[in-house]
Amino acid sequence: MTYEEALFYVIAAITVAGALGVVTARNVIHSALFLILALLGVAAVYVLLASEFLAIVQVLVYGGAVTILILFAMMLTRVRDIEGPLDGPQRPFAALAATVFLGTTVLAVTQTEWRGETDEATVVTIEQIGEALFSTWAMPFEIASLLLMVALIGAIVLARGEEGE
């Protein structure tokens, strides 16, 4: 086993442990903290796959902003520690959905022809991404800013409307 492989297994173990912590923690705040651990683990996997930019985005957007949104959502609602069991009559449906998802994932993993050695992986640098973004994909990039502005204004209008001001 090469040291890259060993590193991958350590990172994968941390990621899975974080994901398990999300669903098993009794305190919702602890769940959110475990979620950060799992998301940072995924970022480390991206680095191992030589996708630097994706790792940066993962840390900034998922590790930062999305967890902040989740924590804010907890602060805004009257959230309590989970006392009783969370599952109810939907248990068989949940089991069915989980089994189907697991089956699909296992099928996808076994049916895919993997590319083999990591040394063959092509490294896409941030400079190359910038070049593509500002020449070929300039229009979608500008539209993305419009989308963000619409999201911002929409959120303000919704919040203001609820407040009745």
Partner 1 sequence: MTSEVFNVYIAVLIATIFGFVLVGSALIGNLILSPRQKSPHKGVTYECGMLPIGRSRAQVHFRYYLFAILFLIFDIEAVFLFPWAVSFVELGEQAFYEMLVFIGILAFGLLYAWKKGVLNWR
Q: Could you tell me the CA-to-CA distances from 26 to 11, 40, 72, 82 in Å, in that order?
A: 24, 22, 19, 6
Of 106 and 158, nearer to partner 1 (C-beta) is 158
- Kindly tell me which of 108 and 139 has the beta carbon lying closer to partner 1: 139
User: Taking the complex as a whole, how short is the minimal distance between the CB of residue 95 and partner 1, in angstroms?
Assistant: 32
Q: How far is the CB of 23 from partner 1 (least distance, A)?
A: 21
> Taking a C-beta distance cutoff of 8 angstroms, is the pair 40, 59 a contact?
yes
The least distance separating partner 1 from the CB of residue 165, rounded to whole angstroms, comes to: 9
**Tokens, residue 7:** 């590193």
Residues forming the site for partner 1 (CB under 8 A):
4, 7, 47, 50, 52-53, 56-57, 60-61, 64-66, 68-69, 72-73, 75-80, 118-119, 121, 123, 126-127, 129-131, 133-135, 138, 141-142, 144-146, 148-149, 151-153, 155-156, 159-160, 162-163
CA distance 123 to 50: 6
> Shortest gap between Cβ of 87 and partner 1 (angstroms)?
24
Residue with Cβ nearer partner 1 (73 or 106)? 73
Per DSSP, the three-state class of 12 is: helix
Best CA proximity match to 28, nearest among 86, 80, 87: 80
**Between 103 and 130, whose beta carbon lies closer to partner 1?**
130
Q: Which amino acid is at 107?
A: L
Residue from 31, 43, 42, 34 nearest 73 by CA: 31
All residues at 6 or more sequence positions from 32 whose CB lies less than 8 Å from its CB, including other chains: 67, 70, 71, 74
Q: 76 or 86: whose CB is closer to partner 1? A: 76
Q: Closest distance between partner 1 and the C-beta of residue 135, in Å? A: 8
